[in-house]
Copies of this chain bind each other. A is one copy, B any other.
Amino acid sequence: MSKTIAVLGLGNFGTALANHLARKGYEVLGWCKRPEMADSINRLNTNPDYLNSVQLSANLKATTDFSATLSADIVLLSFPSSALSEIVPRLKLRPDSIMVSAIKGLDRETLLTPLQYFRMHHPECGRIAALSGPSFARDIARQRPSGVVSASDDEAVAREVADLFSNEHMRVYSSGDTIGVEIGGVVKNVIALAAGVIDGMDLGDSARAGLITRGLAEMMRLAQAMGAQAMTLSGLSGLGDLIMTSTSELSRNRTVGLRLGRGEHLDHIVKTLGSVAEGVKTTALVVELAERYKVEMPITHHVRDLLEGRHSATEMVRSLLARPLKREF
């Protein structure tokens, strides 16, 4: 019998992943809060709010009944990180189910990653994985090529999840480094904000490439202090996602930085953006995490100060460039 899959959260990314799995032939049940959204998906095979030009697979159904999702073989989390504390405690899954997190952020109270947070609430459930890597919802929906990583402490689970998502469009590599994969997905949004600032100030592609590279070094330092392997951050879920988020016109986090670099105010940007840019909320949490693990993260600190209005984009760049020089590593 084919596996049943539940997808919690039908934003851009959740809708794209749910539809990807439904196209592969799985019965997918998506969960959302708005009855109109569930109704449109069930009757018209379109999500009115996200990827609305995409005709969704008939194998994808939607519900607003949270409890209906808990009996699935695979439960995929794709809601914003700000909802972790609301949803994770209610995730009473079957012991043989697999929980897959596609969330790129931290719980704001505990600073835990989604997998760490889930483990804290459900220590008995060991079959959990993180899915991450460069994969825009729009690219997945259009069946363009992408490469992502499935990470789990349990190698068999990592491979099972990789097989679940893999097809000729999406290449899924497996990894045992869950913290490395999760931290890459968190910090890349912060660095993408900074890369956007560079572009918004028209400082050139040399400066942007330099900033992304120094941003990767920050990301590596934090992840290693938390127990990750440096190589993981050089891979798809770290560097790959960082490059995509920092250079693409489609990236929301980069767009926030771009508009800050042009002198717009954050409040106005957030109001007019239309959807969540995880980096805006995550940056201050990453600063806290860096302090907890005693890791130097100058770009992240400067982005936090910019977001909180403590300095302008010009001051941010001047101050980053004025840091003392030393050996590269």
Could you tell me which A residues sit within 8 Å of B by CB distance?
133-136, 138-140, 142, 144-147, 149, 162, 166, 168, 171-175, 203-210, 212-214, 216-217, 220, 230-232, 234-236, 239-241, 243-244, 247-250, 317, 321-322, 325-329
**Number of identical monomers bound together in the oligomeric complex:** 2
Are A145 and B203 touching (Cβ within 8 A)? yes
A205: B residues at CB distance < 8 A: 134, 136, 139, 244, 247-250
Are B327 and A174 touching (Cβ within 8 A)? yes
Are A145 and B247 touching (Cβ within 8 A)? no
Are B210 and A175 touching (Cβ within 8 A)? no
Are A220 and B234 touching (Cβ within 8 A)? yes
Are B235 and A243 touching (Cβ within 8 A)? no
Are A243 and B243 touching (Cβ within 8 A)? yes
Listed by A's residue number, 29 A-B pairs whose Cβ atoms lie within 8 Å are A134-B206, A136-B206, A138-B204, A139-B205, A145-B203, A146-B204, A146-B206, A146-B210, A147-B207, A166-B325, A168-B321, A171-B321, A171-B325, A174-B327, A175-B327, A205-B244, A206-B244, A208-B243, A208-B244, A212-B239, A212-B243, A213-B235, A213-B239, A216-B234, A230-B234, A232-B329, A235-B329, A236-B328, A243-B247
Taken together as a complex, chains A and B put the C-alpha atoms of A214 and B237 apart, in Å, by 12
Are A209 and B173 touching (Cβ within 8 A)? no
Are A139 and B173 touching (Cβ within 8 A)? no
* With known contacts A232-B329, A235-B328, A328-B175, A240–B210 Cβ distance under 8 A: yes
A220: B residues at CB distance < 8 A: 234
Taken together as a complex, chains A and B put the C-alpha atoms of A230 and B241 apart, in Å, by 20
A328: B residues at CB distance < 8 A: 149, 173-175, 232, 235-236
A204: B residues at CB distance < 8 A: 136, 138-139, 142, 144-146
* Least distance between A45 CB and chain B CB atoms (Å): 23
Contact residue among B144, B173, B207, B208 (Cβ-Cβ distance under 8 Å from A207): B144
CB-nearest residue of chain B to A318: B168
Are B243 and A145 touching (Cβ within 8 A)? no
* With known contacts A144-B204, A203-B144, A210–B325 Cβ distance under 8 A: no
A144: B residues at CB distance < 8 A: 203-204, 206-207
Taken together as a complex, chains A and B put the C-alpha atoms of A131 and B179 apart, in Å, by 35
Are B217 and A240 touching (Cβ within 8 A)? no
Are A243 and B209 touching (Cβ within 8 A)? yes
CB-nearest residue of chain B to A237: B328
* Least distance between A255 CB and chain B CB atoms (Å): 13
* Least distance between A243 CB and chain B CB atoms (Å): 4
